[in-house]
A and B are shown apart, each in its own frame.
Chain A
Amino acid sequence: MAAAAPKRTGAVESYSTWRWTDRLALALCWACGIALCVAAASILLYMGFRGLQYLRPELLFERPTGAVDQTKSGGILDPILGTLMLTVLGTAIAIPLAVCVAIWLVEYGRPAGLARAVESGVEIVAGTPSIVLAIFGLIIFQQPWLGWLSFTAEGGGVFGRSLINASIMMSFIALPLVVGATREGLNAIPGHVREASYALGKTKAATIRRVLLPAVRPSIATGTALGMGRIAGDTAIVIILLGNTLLIEPQEGMPVLGLLTGTGSTLTSYVYENSPAGEGGAYEKAYAAAFVLLLVVLVLNFAVARVVGGSSTSRSNLWNR
């Protein structure tokens, strides 16, 4: 960088001097890039068009009914509530666990063998298909000693499907994302920040609590929003572990616990069941629910972009001033 860079002119090189294979490859690059944009735009526009065509405001506030006649089958209030509850519960379970694991891995990590094992375990969960998590959850929650988490039949058979069970398995989907984001955040904090805290006489635990945790809050938020998007978009765990009843059906007798141990549905399972692949052929309702689902996921995704965009510059300024 000693010599001044030559002034850039508009036409640096002309493609006509390229060999034809290079020009063909360049054309392919353009084609692939444009195709990505076209695919995204067509999905968004088509779902938006269908969604606005079939989504009426009253659908959002009406409970669904099982009628075959589509004018009487009600709205999508219960699936929306189901998605909200499942997403919130799932991340609420995942965040404390994931943050603890990430802090332990980065700040302590002793004995090293155990740390490696935990690391690979989290990696395994990240790669596990959600359908496998779903049917694993079913065997676990059908054990008699976990019967209080769901509906128990008269003969003593445990149903194993409930909101809380589905949330616990959903938290496994969010867990690796939050662990990964938090670890990355912790690794990005320079060592001198920790040393400054120790020099002031703080213990390691106090440093974690007062210095590191506030600093990685944006990373945790990023991981959480990504995890929420994945939970809201997951179908397999819902149709297997949530019971997949159209309405939210709390167990009787218990006010809050009944809701948690009851069954329900989410937007994803509603879309699946109303598509030709499921039982009903109510594609108008499926489009409307899919549109709402797409909006939810996109909002979460842009929340990530805002958090990441806002924090990466400010954080590096914060430490390296």
Chain B
Amino acid sequence: MATSAPTATGRPLAALARLREPWTDRRAELVLGAVSCFVLALIVGMVVFVFSKAWPSFSHNGLGWFGDTGNVNQQMDRIQQPGTAEPVYDFGAFDLIWGTVLTTGVAVLFGAAFSTLAAIFMVEFAPESLRRILTPTVSLLAAVPSVIYGLIGILVLAPFVGDLISQDRKESVAGVISLTGENWLLATFILAVMIIPIMTAIIAQALRQVPRGWTEGAAALGVNRWRVMWTISVRTARPAIVAGAVLATGRALGEAIMLAMVSGGTAFAPNPVDGLTFFLEPTRPLAATIVFYREGLANPAMASTLYGIAAVLLVSAMALSIGAYVVKQPMKKYGIRT
């Protein structure tokens, strides 16, 4: 390492020539380790920075940040344009959080059931010709960008749904919200279409890795193919179903663009007491709210509020990845890698 190349004359050239020599193990380890530490430092910096920016909003509102402290739309307008010299931080994100929980929860619950059945079909029941189509189909659906899902939602599905809503129903709530085709149910439906391929791929992979002897043993006892799948394979792959659901939840939580386009764009908490109208009410989840108010990032109070939302999303995503790690452990016992 110390021997410099004979052609090198000046100091920078010598340094360059030394770089071209084969690396020693020690140097390789140090350089690679340094790069890894740099990436880690950036990631830790991100978490710290987001929290430090969010602190004014959290400390001002306390636990009320997560509560229902008035109309969120009006609160955010006041944060944006306080009208006084003092910045306003009053904010209670309950409507946004409820919108996120509703869209994500329903999409994941529906998606988990759907993907389990679709994965069973893919692995066990599909004829060979269909099976060959299904694998690329799933990766295609997973690859379509969210803005295209949003575009189809807002230009095709939303007007269609909007026409189905009767005029009476629209007038009955006219003072509070306007019922258009853009509502939480449509957003949830598209969200489900977006997360189902991810879950299906994970579950199908786990089902394929169930030891053959287990399913063949059950079949030899005279159990039919569906019962074999349901009682042996699905039960073995149960952790994979949960892990897939957790991963999909993370995806759904962070989905901003599609939800900003089709969820209705107004902070409103759909109320299950409203009967059928409940399904047609608009909402605006957390991530979509950041997109909605992105022009307000220059305003410190607004920025703090939006970084608060980002911090909540970040913590949820971290909790979910820990959760996914924990639920995958039982699979390792059977020697199944997911």
The interface of chain A, by Cβ under 8 A from chain B, is 13, 17-18, 22, 25-26, 28-33, 35-37, 39-40, 43-44, 46-47, 96-97, 100-101, 103-105, 107-108, 110, 114, 117-118, 120-133, 135-136, 138-140, 175, 203-206, 208-209, 229, 232-236, 239-240, 268, 271-272, 275-277, 283, 286-287, 290, 293-294, 297-298, 300-301, 304-305
Contacts and interface: CB of A to CB of B under 8 A. Distances in A.
Contact of A22 (B117, B224, B306): B224
Q: Which 7 A-B pairs have the closest CB atoms?
A: A129-B254, A233-B145, A33-B121, A205-B28, A104-B32, A127-B317, A100-B35
Contacts of B140: 40, 44, 298, 301
Contacts of B23: 205-206, 209
Contact of A100 (B36, B126, B146): B36
16 contacts: A32-B114, A32-B118, A33-B121, A40-B141, A47-B148, A114-B33, A124-B47, A127-B317, A130-B254, A135-B50, A139-B49, A140-B45, A233-B147, A268-B147, A286-B151, A293-B145
Nearest to B317: A127
A203 B35 contact: no
B257 A272 contact: yes
A58 B249 CA distance: 42
A259 B32 CA distance: 31
Contact of A18 (B226, B257, B313, B317): B226
A164 B134 CA distance: 39
Nearest to A204: B25
Given A118-B40, A208-B28, A297-B143, A22 B226 contact: yes
Nearest to A291: B148
Interface string B7-46: 0000000000000001111011101110111111001111
Given A124-B43, A125-B43, A28 B117 contact: yes
A286 B287 CA distance: 23
Contacts of A236: 256-257, 291
B141 to A, nearest CB: 5
B155 interface: yes
Contact of B226 (A25, A104, A140, A209): A25
A124 B318 contact: yes
B144 A297 contact: yes
Given A39-B141, A104-B35, A105-B36, A283 B317 contact: no
Contacts of B47: 124
Contact of B152 (A46, A107, A229): A46
Q: Is the interface of B mostly helix, strand, loop or mixed?
A: helix
A239 B261 contact: no
Nearest to B250: A127
A57 to B, nearest CB: 21
Nearest to A206: B22
B223 to A, nearest CB: 10
A245 B264 CA distance: 25
A124 B46 CA distance: 11
B150 A132 contact: no
Contacts of B141: 36, 39-40, 43
A287 to B, nearest CB: 7
B287 to A, nearest CB: 5
A25 to B, nearest CB: 6
B130 interface: yes
Nearest to B139: A301
Place the interface of chain B in its size category.
35 or more
A118 B36 contact: yes
A108 B152 contact: no
B125 interface: yes
Indicate the member of A123, A175, A232, A287 with the most B CB atoms within 10 Å: A123
A69 to B, nearest CB: 20
A25 B40 CA distance: 47
Interface string B318-338: 101100010000000000000
Given A36-B134, A240-B294, A287 B151 contact: yes
Nearest to B26: A205
Given A29-B125, A204-B28, A205-B23, A126 B120 contact: no
Contacts of A101: 32, 35-36, 39
Contacts of B122: 33
Contact of A205 (B24, B148, B224): B24
A117 B44 CA distance: 10
A33 B226 contact: no
Contacts of A13: 224-225
Contacts of B148: 43, 47, 271, 290, 293-294
